Amino acid sequence: MDPILEVSDLHIRYRKVEAVHGASLRVGAGQIVTVIGPNGAGKSTLLNAVMGALPAYGSASGRVSYLGQDMAGIPVEGRVARGMCLVPEKRELFASMSVEDNLVLGAFRRKRAGDKRFLDQMDVVYDLFPRLRERARQEAGTLSGGERQMLALGRALMAKPQLLMLDEPSLGLAPLIVREIFHIIDRLRETGVATLLIEQNARAALQVADYGYVIETGEVVMAGPAAALAGDPKVIETYLGLARRAA
């Protein structure tokens, strides 16, 4: 089957510094693919380049192919219109608007495109996140960290993306909440969306993913089925740590 996303030999530079050195990866239809690695390895940079959202002084070479089409020269807006969606680390919600209004905004492009059923995803989102339904009228700025992450995910799903890219969804969340978020990411498979998940929490990411890549200082150093990576001695040593060995 053709992949949804195929990245080949991607080099990314910020002015004189090359942050990513020839990364290649694939995301198949309905798959959850994770990229794990330490701070500063180039994970967010990679996602931003796929989205076409590098800062003006950044540049990329190599190929990003999405749904069989080369994305070179296609701006962020065009990629969003084709069904890519990035949930950034900073979540970027509208704090003074209600949960429900934030969700409605997620469907904005579908509404503008004349899709009369632009709100039909609301029930799907509320079924995935019952807590958001309970808090529909609450201001987004008053949500807990975990709820904010749920809202960011829910808002992304309102756009009915084909490729969802998540930048560190577990960042700053307590372990129980992380488990809840990852349970939901797992359930996203049911919606048919393909997910590219960037994570420092390697344990949670490899548990939920089908396939994984390890990136270190801008280079993909390992790749394989997530279960195989989770059992690899080097991954265990470097990313899964003592807790895993003790378990």
Footprint of ligand ATP on this chain (CB under 6 A)?
14, 19, 37, 39-45, 55, 200
Q: What is the smallest separation between the CB atom of 37 and ligand ATP, expressed in angstroms?
A: 6
Q: What is the smallest separation between the CB atom of 143 and ligand ATP, expressed in angstroms?
A: 23
Q: What is the smallest separation between the CB atom of 42 and ligand ATP, expressed in angstroms?
A: 4
Q: Which is nearer to ligand ATP, 162 or 200 (CB)?
A: 200
Residue 34 contacts by C-beta under 8 Å, 6 or more apart in sequence? 196, 197, 198, 199, 205, 206, 208, 209, 211, 212, 213, 226
Q: Which is nearer to ligand ATP, 180 or 216 (CB)?
A: 216
Q: What is the smallest separation between the CB atom of 40 and ligand ATP, expressed in angstroms?
A: 4
Q: Which is nearer to ligand ATP, 57 or 243 (CB)?
A: 57
Q: Which is nearer to ligand ATP, 19 or 196 (CB)?
A: 19
How many Å apart are CA 133 and CA 154, to the nearest integer?
11
How many Å apart are CA 228 and CA 82, to the nearest integer?
33
Q: Which is nearer to ligand ATP, 138 or 200 (CB)?
A: 200
Strand partners, 76: none
How many Å apart are CA 226 and CA 211, to the nearest integer?
4
Amino acid in position 112: R
CA angle 194, 199, 205 (to 5 degrees): 65
Supply the angle between the helices 99-106 and 145-158 in degrees, to the nearest 10: 30
Q: Which is nearer to ligand ATP, 18 or 101 (CB)?
A: 18
Q: What is the smallest separation between the CB atom of 145 and ligand ATP, expressed in angstroms?
A: 17
- In angstroms and rounded to an integer, the radius of gyration of the C-alpha atoms of the chain is 18
Length reported for the chain: 247
Q: What is the smallest separation between the CB atom of 25 and ligand ATP, expressed in angstroms?
A: 14
